[in-house]
Structure 1
């Protein structure tokens, strides 16, 4: 079966840059253009609008110079205007060879914005196309507000398309400019145009105002369009454009008779680079690209993955250069823990896995984020607690720190079932805690070991709100030893390390 080829035109550098607060530098635009064409392998890219700024001019010039060397010049497109040839001159000076001419696709826009008749508009468009032909520039034509044109002035749209059929135009670009179409309407309008103009190359440009950009793009392909306009991460004005990654995945999985040339494995890499350059953050739950979309949180899902991949679907992370993760938290359960232990090359017996699981659940209840990198620290902390009998517990404490006052601590310690409480000040909260603890031990005729080193760290890859490990070195008359404590609070982790010391001595 011969598959129908759909062109993918990426407009991240033009329409995507209209995202509020986003502006790419010239070097960033060149880098993104190179990745889009060479790594992602989209068919064409729209890189700028004419006559915007000197920076835009320089960006387009650098892209066209690179593209000319690589043989990609006909893949570089620029949004131009019906401006009596000013856009054509601008393009000639940048070396760009394909214009996407912005024209009016609805009678309302034509009457109330331009205040012109269809005949006047068509005449001006004809002149711009003639100037483009003379400058060896190819022309594609945007019908701005085409979707509302089909709803409210269909006769005008067909009159305009009849005119364009007589012109040397490469592609007709039909945008849902305000993102108003439903999937049903997208299919209906595009099917009608496909039937009436079977030889016309038609691109569909969906916006995402109702979160229907992907669905509308899918219906456009079903209706017979030749190309789609998409953006990396769904960037664009208002709610953005139809997102490239989602549309690519949907077409590949749901339309077996359609072929697109996009390299899925490069989607995530390019997405993260565009996120960095733009500052436009990818939501963690964004399909295909979000941090959470290949993360199993529930333990039952991890268990099912181990038993014939029961919770897998066609959206395998490896397709997009990613890996499946198993989240650690209060709902993760033993199966998630085992998956993460396997990745780290660690093995525990069932009893220890249960203890580690309980500790992770405790942290999850406190809304702490636990990462795979935290696991060795948690294991060390839990297994460390197995080597001594816990005769001494720090039952409760109050730590105070106020400007202009010395930090103080009230601590309650249970030693062999007897509760002792003391209060002390110190140079810091932990120092005050140790002073109060010293008073408790002095009342029992006992001495604490000397604290000789105090080190704090968070696991690599962990976040500051997750786990903090405090390792304290202690010295008695006959030995030096270390204890460690693990908690999201630095002082609490030090107190936990201290409780271990009390039981060891």
Structure 2
């Protein structure tokens, strides 16, 4: 990798503008540490002149030792009514004590006339004076050319004049922004070629939004055209349709183009960093996200699985491990023998394709999915069936009976109470618990009955609950008597898993999924669950 491109992460500023994301100070500090661990070159911490949280962030981050990343503070060119040295926004940047200042300025005459309502020449003064004021206070000053590509298409001479003003004032990086996200890859070449011709010594960066779904493609094209820096966010978070997703940009540059982005050995941290940021942002990771999504290297069709087992390159464009992901073989009604064999190999046993267990498991999965079970979405429930078919399952407890009571009095909130009788370790345990709804009451009662015998169940919690009404399946009579499918996501300190239940009775379906979630936890933590792995 002879050529290198620097990565400028703006998750803490641009990413936090997504409508689902609200980051507090602790969240921002956690994400900053993870980004530095990943090895990005720049972390944009926020806009200290705009809100107290960002100002406090720059104070607190001083106590954090960043090993790989330089900290950038974001702001704008000074107000037209002020001189640069009297502008509160620029002063806040200086007070942040960040190593880098990034300021955004107008380059589109439409915005200068309609938004700022100042003469075009005055806008050039704002750019020039702001950069000159900041230069003595920072190691580097970057100029974000807002709406640059729209500006170039409308009035190319003025757009270039704005860049020239920043460059001559000492800007270390000119950031060409597709602020509206409407530019297509073929639109980049005319603009970037003109910039390089007009300012041959200028370092160029690209900042893309995803409103046309091509922010990653534009970022890659910008690098091909000479950009030495790419700005984006983890998981593509950002306002409207988001920003360029660094979780795609980075591996494409490194693995497909041979252009270095991260320190040696850091690319394999990409998936864990993606999921970590999603968790801190309180968002579910996107399953079908390229490179780092849970489904990115998942194989469901039997023909695909058979080919992948012979040579992963047949259906995988990069090695999953290179980005910290894993190959997954999914069982469903599309499954073939190869899926079963791959799952068996994954769990410590080499099966012959003619083993009776293979045919029995395949038939059971296809029958259950015909009824409405969904094992591609509930891998933990499938694994329990798989273990049972392989003869590896254990009985941790047995149901004697359960009962759920729901009631409501007048204007009061509804109440739910569950009673559970189970046989566990040779004795009958009878418990009752209330909860916020019948499923929560069942969860509380079952947990209460089991935790004396299995204290580590206290580590487990239910994280998500989904119900879908099915039509067209076996025994479905329609309407309120339809079958329902329940998916429950559970988790502990090491992993998450999903289980499924199916019945025309929503409580019965919930009980199935609930029991599977507990049994999976018990099974995965049981050191005696299966024989030692053999050499395959």
Sort the TM-score into its range (normalised by shorter chain): 0.7 to 0.9
In structure 2, the residue matched to 1:463 is 498
Alpha carbons of structure 1 residues 82 and 304: separation in structure 2 relative to 1, 3 Å: same
Give a deviation string over 1:113-135, Cα, whole Å, max 9, x none.
Answer: 11112221222333323332354
1:333-352 to 2 correspondences below 5 Å: 333-346=336-349, 350-352=355-357
In structure 2, the residue matched to 1:280 is 283
1:259-278 to 2 correspondences below 5 Å: 259-261=260-262, 263-278=266-281
> Structure 2: how far apart are the matches of 1:492 and 1:35?
34
Any conservation in 2 of the 1:82–1:102 contact (CA below 8 Å)? no
Any conservation in 2 of the 1:173–1:203 contact (CA below 8 Å)? yes
In structure 2, the residue matched to 1:55 is 53
Counterpart secondary structure, 2:92:
helix
In structure 2, the residue matched to 1:159 is 161
Any conservation in 1 of the 2:10–2:43 contact (CA below 8 Å)? yes
Any conservation in 2 of the 1:64–1:73 contact (CA below 8 Å)? no
Report the count of equivalent residues.
414
1:208-227 to 2 correspondences below 5 Å: 208-227=210-229
In structure 2, the residue matched to 1:354 is 359
Counterpart among 241, 246, 249 of residue 247 in structure 1: 249
RMSD: 3.4
In structure 1, the residue matched to 2:439 is none
In structure 2, the residue matched to 1:368 is 374
In structure 1, the residue matched to 2:182 is 180
Give a deviation string over 1:212-262, Cα, whole Å, max 9, x none.
Answer: 011111110111111110110000110001100111122123323x33225
Gaps (5+ residues) in structure 2? 392-402, 408-417, 431-445, 451-487, 516-536
- Structure 1 runs of 4+ with >3 Å offset: 70-75, 133-138, 346-349, 370-377, 379-384, 400-404, 428-431, 451-462, 487-494
In structure 2, the residue matched to 1:23 is 22
Alpha carbons of structure 1 residues 224 and 135: separation in structure 2 relative to 1, 3 Å: closer
In structure 2, the residue matched to 1:140 is 142
Displacement of 1:403 after TM fit? 8.0
> Structure 1: how far apart are the matches of 2:156 and 2:165?
14
In structure 1, the residue matched to 2:476 is none
Displacement of 1:23 after TM fit? 1.9
Gaps (5+ residues) in structure 1? 385-399, 405-427, 432-450, 469-486, 495-505
Alpha carbons of structure 1 residues 463 and 6: separation in structure 2 relative to 1, 3 Å: closer
Give a deviation string over 1:396-424, Cα, whole Å, max 9, x none.
Answer: xxxx99989xxxxxxxxxxxxxxxxxxxx
Alpha carbons of structure 1 residues 330 and 454: separation in structure 2 relative to 1, 3 Å: farther
Counterpart secondary structure, 1:463:
strand
> Structure 2: how far apart are the matches of 1:362 and 1:232?
41
In structure 1, the residue matched to 2:457 is none
In structure 1, the residue matched to 2:194 is 192
Any conservation in 1 of the 2:45–2:54 contact (CA below 8 Å)? no
Displacement of 1:187 after TM fit? 2.5
Give a deviation string over 1:359-381, Cα, whole Å, max 9, x none.
Answer: 11122222422655445642565
> Structure 2: how far apart are the matches of 1:277 and 1:313?
29
> Structure 2: how far apart are the matches of 1:289 and 1:271?
7
Any conservation in 1 of the 2:129–2:169 contact (CA below 8 Å)? no
In structure 2, the residue matched to 1:476 is none
Any conservation in 2 of the 1:209–1:239 contact (CA below 8 Å)? yes
* TM-score of the superposed pair, with normalisation by structure 1: 0.74
Counterpart among 367, 378, 387 of residue 385 in structure 2: 378
Any conservation in 2 of the 1:106–1:146 contact (CA below 8 Å)? yes
Displacement of 1:73 after TM fit? 7.7
> Structure 2: how far apart are the matches of 1:493 and 1:124?
62
> Structure 2: how far apart are the matches of 1:71 and 1:351?
56
Counterpart among 102, 112, 120 of residue 100 in structure 1: 102
Instruction: Please tell me whether Structure 1 or Structure 2 has the larger radius of gyration of its CA atoms.
Output: 1
Counterpart secondary structure, 1:174:
strand
Alpha carbons of structure 1 residues 429 and 167: separation in structure 2 relative to 1, 3 Å: closer
Any conservation in 2 of the 1:73–1:96 contact (CA below 8 Å)? no
Any conservation in 2 of the 1:187–1:222 contact (CA below 8 Å)? no
Displacement of 1:170 after TM fit? 1.0
In structure 2, the residue matched to 1:10 is 9
Give a deviation string over 1:48-105, Cα, whole Å, max 9, x none.
Answer: 01322222111122224425xx576844342344234312321333322321111101
> Structure 1: how far apart are the matches of 2:116 and 2:29?
34
Alpha carbons of structure 1 residues 237 and 462: separation in structure 2 relative to 1, 3 Å: closer
> Structure 2: how far apart are the matches of 1:309 and 1:228?
31
Give a deviation string over 1:24-48, Cα, whole Å, max 9, x none.
Answer: 12122122112212x2111112110
